[in-house]
């Protein structure tokens, strides 16, 4: 995003919007990832590694087949997707160039997501750490080479960013395959297709996918409301969202920990320990995210200036960071407790909470605020209020403990 921001504000907005489209694609990945996580973690908790490994192979075949259809749709419909979001013509042009290339690499993105989540569910996050560290360095280097044209390469601009991303994902997949061949790895690839286990995955996954689908649709509508304010507001929101990702990362990390440890302990019939794993993960997450939130509040302009020199964009993104910095603790609770519920297979609960919260507490109020002429700051305030209320709801549901007895 920093390098793309050096091209133009239109390229910055285009790449930022692509993140929203990837959320839609993530809906399809949820079909096999969330249910796969819940079942693999329970099988590992029951010390049934071979069956978990066979399930992983089955999920991989399903992911590859699904990715073919997604690649075709993304490549053909990339320009339409940007246009329907109401983006300006130059943003549509830049975005379609970027997303067409990304669409061609959907298969490696699907497989990378599957293997990362499966190993995390099995309790191996360290291997992914080393793989992703090298991958991130590779991605950054290739961005520098392809975007600006170095070491004999032509400057490809936003298209270079897309090529760099796909190459980095391809490296991830190769590294994971080598890892899965090691006998002592948490999981291996055993070429057995178990349709009975796949049905169990879908039983959990369909509600998680519906949850993600409705939520992603709400985010797209929310972004379209921001887009209606103008390209500056859109770019400011996208930059702020990426910087907030610094705070997201601890939340995602401990959400994965909660998902894996809750699932494994439920598989081992350690109900109280499963509950406590979510509590401990949540406490660590909101300490980390709350601390980073304080940095977002105190130094917003300095952080945004790394991405763009446009003063209007810096102002919008700075307002965003100050406000979301205040919401990091309830957001940590949402991340961890929702992941714990998914790890237990209680995806129907998360579906109800997220759908009602995002649509009735965020999207509808934001649309009303826009129609009544309120500025972009009002939209950011509404977003934060929704996060706070959703955090309180998840806290209440988690404390009731009924979700601990969900069957997978």
Q: Rounded to 5, what percent of the chain is helix, strand, coil?
A: 85, 0, 15
Instruction: Place 169 in a pLDDT band, splitting at 50, 70 and 90.
Output: very high
Mean of pLDDT values over 155-180 = 89
d(CA 99, CA 384): 30
Indicate whether 334 pLDDT > 80.
yes
What is each CA distance from 282 to 4, 101, 391, in whole angstroms? 34, 38, 11
Q: Which of these ranges, 11-25, 158-172, 310-324, 385-399, has the smallest mean pLDDT?
A: 11-25
* CB contact set of 294 (below 8 Å; sequence gap of 6+): 325
d(CA 167, CA 362): 36
User: What secondary structure does DSSP assign to 202-265, as a single string?
Assistant: HHHHHHHHHHHHHHHHHHHHHHHHHHHH-HHHHHHHHHHHHHHHHHHHHHHHHHHHHHHHHHHH
What count of other Cβ atoms lies within 10 Å of the Cβ of residue 372?
8
- Of all residues in the chain, the percent with pLDDT exceeding 90 is 23
Write down the pLDDT at residue 189.
Answer: 81
Indicate whether 84 pLDDT > 80.
no
Write down the pLDDT at residue 37.
Answer: 79
Write down the pLDDT at residue 164.
Answer: 92
Write down the pLDDT at residue 246.
Answer: 77
Query: In this structure, which long-range contacts are made by residues 6-10, counting pairs with CB atoms below 8 Å and at least 24 apart in sequence?
Result: 6/148, 7/147, 7/157, 7/158, 8/90, 8/94, 9/231, 9/232, 9/235, 9/308, 9/310, 9/313, 10/88, 10/90, 10/91, 10/94, 10/231
Burial of 303-340, coded b for 16+ CB within 10 Å and e otherwise, reads: bbeebbebeebbbbbbbbbbbbbbbbbbbbbbbbbbbb
Write down the pLDDT at residue 298.
Answer: 92
Indicate whether 72 pLDDT > 80.
yes
What is each CA distance from 296 to 99, 188, 234, 237, 245, in whole angstroms? 30, 41, 19, 14, 11
Indicate whether 87 pLDDT > 70.
no
Write down the pLDDT at residue 275.
Answer: 92
- The two counts, helices (H) then strands (E), for the chain are 16, 0
Please say whether the beta carbons of 300 and 321 come within 8 A.
Answer: yes
Write down the pLDDT at residue 336.
Answer: 92
d(CA 238, CA 10): 12
- 11 vs 180, higher pLDDT: 180
Residue-averaged pLDDT of the chain: 85
Indicate whether 20 pLDDT > 70.
no
- 319 vs 156, higher pLDDT: 319
Q: Which of these ranges, 4-8, 53-57, 74-78, 101-105, has the smallest mean pLDDT?
A: 4-8
Write down the pLDDT at residue 170.
Answer: 94
d(CA 278, CA 119): 19
Please say whether the beta carbons of 258 and 343 come within 8 A.
Answer: yes
Write down the pLDDT at residue 30.
Answer: 79
Mean of pLDDT values over 84-92 = 71
User: What secondary structure does DSSP assign to 326-347, as a single string?
Assistant: TTHHHHHHHHHHHHHHHHTT-H
Write down the pLDDT at residue 408.
Answer: 65
d(CA 38, CA 263): 6
Write down the pLDDT at residue 12.
Answer: 75
Mean of pLDDT values over 189-197 = 83
Instruction: Place 219 in a pLDDT band, splitting at 50, 70 and 90.
Output: confident
Q: Which of these ranges, 174-178, 200-204, 347-351, has the smallest mean pLDDT?
A: 200-204
- Each domain of the chain, given as residue ranges in start order, spans 1-207, 230-408
Considering only the C-alpha atoms of the chain, give the largest distance between any 2 of them, rounded to a whole number of Å. 62
pLDDT tens figures, 372-404: 989 889 999 999 999 999 999 999 999 988 888
Structure tokens at 306: 């790394």
Write down the pLDDT at residue 175.
Answer: 94
Please say whether the beta carbons of 316 and 236 come within 8 A.
Answer: yes
d(CA 233, CA 89): 16
């Amino acid at each position: 995003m920093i390098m793309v921001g050096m091209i133009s504000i239109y390229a910055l907005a285009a790449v930022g919007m692509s993140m929203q489209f990837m959320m839609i694609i993530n809906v399809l990945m949820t079909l096999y990832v969330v249910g796969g996580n819940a079942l693999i973690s329970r099988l590992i908790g029951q010390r049934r590694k071979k069956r978990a490994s066979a399930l992983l192979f089955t999920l991989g075949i399903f992911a590859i087949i699904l990715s073919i259809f997604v690649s075709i749709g993304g490549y053909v419909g990339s320009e339409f997707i940007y246009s329907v979001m109401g983006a300006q013509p130059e943003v549509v042009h830049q975005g379609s160039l970027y997303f067409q290339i990304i669409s061609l690499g959907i298969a490696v993105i699907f497989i990378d997501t599957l293997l990362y989540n499966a190993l995390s569910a099995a309790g191996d996050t360290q291997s992914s750490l080393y793989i992703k560290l090298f991958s991130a360095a590779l991605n950054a280097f290739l961005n520098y080479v392809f975007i600006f044209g170095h070491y004999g390469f032509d400057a490809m601009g936003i298209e270079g960013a897309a090529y760099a991303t796909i190459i980095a994902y391809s490296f991830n997949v190769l590294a994971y395959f080598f890892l899965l061949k090691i006998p002592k790895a948490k999981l291996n690839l055993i070429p057995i297709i178990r349709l009975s286990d796949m049905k169990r995955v879908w039983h959990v996954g369909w509600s998680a996918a519906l949850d993600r689908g409705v939520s992603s649709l709400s985010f797209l509508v929310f972004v379209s409301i921001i887009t209606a304010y103008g390209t500056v507001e859109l770019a400011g929101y996208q930059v702020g969202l990426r910087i907030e990702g610094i705070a997201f990362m601890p939340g995602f990390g401990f959400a994965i920990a909660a998902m894996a440890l809750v699932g494994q302990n439920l598989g081992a019939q350690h109900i109280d320990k499963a509950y406590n794993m979510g509590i401990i993960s949540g406490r660590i997450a909101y300490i980390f995210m709350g601390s980073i939130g304080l940095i977002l509040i105190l130094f917003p302009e300095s952080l945004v200036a790394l991405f763009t020199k446009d003063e209007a964009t810096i102002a919008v993104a700075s307002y965003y960071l100050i406000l979301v910095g205040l919401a990091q603790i309830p957001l940590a609770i949402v991340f961890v407790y929702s992941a714990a519920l998914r790890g237990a297979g209680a995806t129907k609960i998360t579906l109800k909470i997220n759908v009602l919260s995002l649509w009735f507490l965020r999207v509808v109020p934001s649309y009303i605020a826009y129609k009544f002429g309120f500025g972009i700051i009002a939209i950011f305030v509404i977003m934060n209020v929704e996060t706070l209320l959703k955090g309180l709801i998840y806290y209440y549901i988690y404390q009731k403990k009924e979700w601990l007895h969900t069957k997978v």
